[in-house]
Structure 1
Amino acid sequence: MTAATRADSRAATPERILSLDRLAALSSDALRGLYARGSVPDDLTALAGRPKGRMLAVRGLEHGPAGRLLRSLARSPKFPWDGKSFFADSPDEGRGINRVNLVVRRFEWFPFTTRVEPSVLDGQPCVYLDYEQPGNPWFIARIRDEIREVAPDLYLGPAMWKRGRGRAAHLLWFAVDFGTPATP
């Protein structure tokens, strides 16, 4: 489905049950359950676009004042991470880059490739965002992002720190919403 087709279909449909705001209100456990029920597209060309992104919950800091502060910052238009841009190279592979808005300028940083492979969390298929790309700093190459569709055009995923031999420490939850336009 193209971005224009998605926009046309959104105009004719009622509000979705899930949104970035609704996902941000969920606990890490609820997000994990939702992710486990998510799916991957049959064709990665479905991921072409500039979806709005949101950090949802940092594991271990989701409750109390720290959790409330992080959720408030992530919801703010001043939060630096705006989302990811995705480009389809074929039905099986793609690429993308993160969009970061700093006070004085907008950047596209930290490219990744995409492909379907088993999730480190549960072994089921996910879209893996591979940051082991030329030019990325070593600490970015150690990040493992995965996503699954949990509602039409809404993808949820864990951001993890690779620990070696197919293991990763889960750090936080994030989502990208192809139904919400990215900051121009």
Structure 2
Amino acid sequence: MGTEAVTAELRRLNTSGLLALFTTLEAPTISEIDGEYTAALLAQPNLFAVATGKVAVANPLGPWLCKAFQPVDENSGRGYNTFSEFGRVRQRYPMRTLLAPSRYDGAAAYTLIYRAYTSMCGSLHMVDEVRRAAPGVYLGIGTWGFTDAQRRVPRPFLLTGPVGSYRGDIGKARHDFTPGPRELPGPPV
């Protein structure tokens, strides 16, 4: 299946279908994900997720443009999100990247941990998991929340690219941060 067909299929599926597909996909390597990737929300699981998604990333006053990544070494990397704010591209919400067991099936996922840096996303315990759907097409499942139940709600998104170069590191790292069970819960019990 070609890139456009895969992208169209991801946009067609509901949240349950996206999650089922996610568990069949493989994680990209740390070195594979390098640069900026166009980002878009996919089908959301409920009205609350739709509403918060529209406010956070589909807001016409500051639309989400992409996620960007850069390997730091063979086991980890860094990244950020970009938004358009009054015609200017702004980097926001830094994250650490690594390969870790998925909360959905225990298999490896390219994992974005926002708590490693000081930001609103870090304060919300946001974690994204990404797997390759096709060359240059990635299915992501985001989670956030203060409770285990909140962090189990899957929020699917699409990444395509790379479409540009990594612009540079941003953010202030949390001193002595080590991912815990909120960030890396592994498979559900």
Q: What TM-score results when the alignment is normalised by the length of structure 1?
A: 0.72
Alpha-carbon RMSD: 3.3
Alpha-carbon distance in structure 2 between the residues aligned to 1:173 and 1:138: 16
- Which of 36, 53, 60 is matched with 2:46 structurally? 60
1:11-160 correspondence runs (5 A): 15-16=2-3, 18-41=5-28, 43-61=29-47, 80-137=63-120, 140-160=123-143
In the other structure, the counterpart of 1:11 is none
C-alpha displacement of 1:155:
1.0
Aligned residues: 161
C-alpha displacement of 1:126:
0.5
Alpha-carbon distance in structure 2 between the residues aligned to 1:79 and 1:56: 18
C-alpha displacement of 1:154:
1.0
Question: Structure 2 stretches of 5 or more lacking a match?
Answer: 166-189
1:39-87 CA distances to partner (integer Å, 9 max, x unpaired)? 012x31110011111111221249xxx97xx89xx89987711110111
C-alpha displacement of 1:141:
4.7
Which protein is richer in strand relative to its size?
1
* Aligned amino acid, residue 113 of structure 1: R
SS in 2 for 1:170: coil
The answer as to whether partners of 2:35 and 2:164 remain within 8 angstroms in 1 is no
Alpha-carbon distance in structure 2 between the residues aligned to 1:120 and 1:141: 17
1:104-163 CA distances to partner (integer Å, 9 max, x unpaired)? 432100100110111112211101101013331366451111101111121111111245
Say which is worse superposed, 96-105 or 130-139, in terms of deviation: 130-139
* Aligned amino acid, residue 16 of structure 1: T
Question: Structure 1 stretches of 5 or more lacking a match?
Answer: 1-13
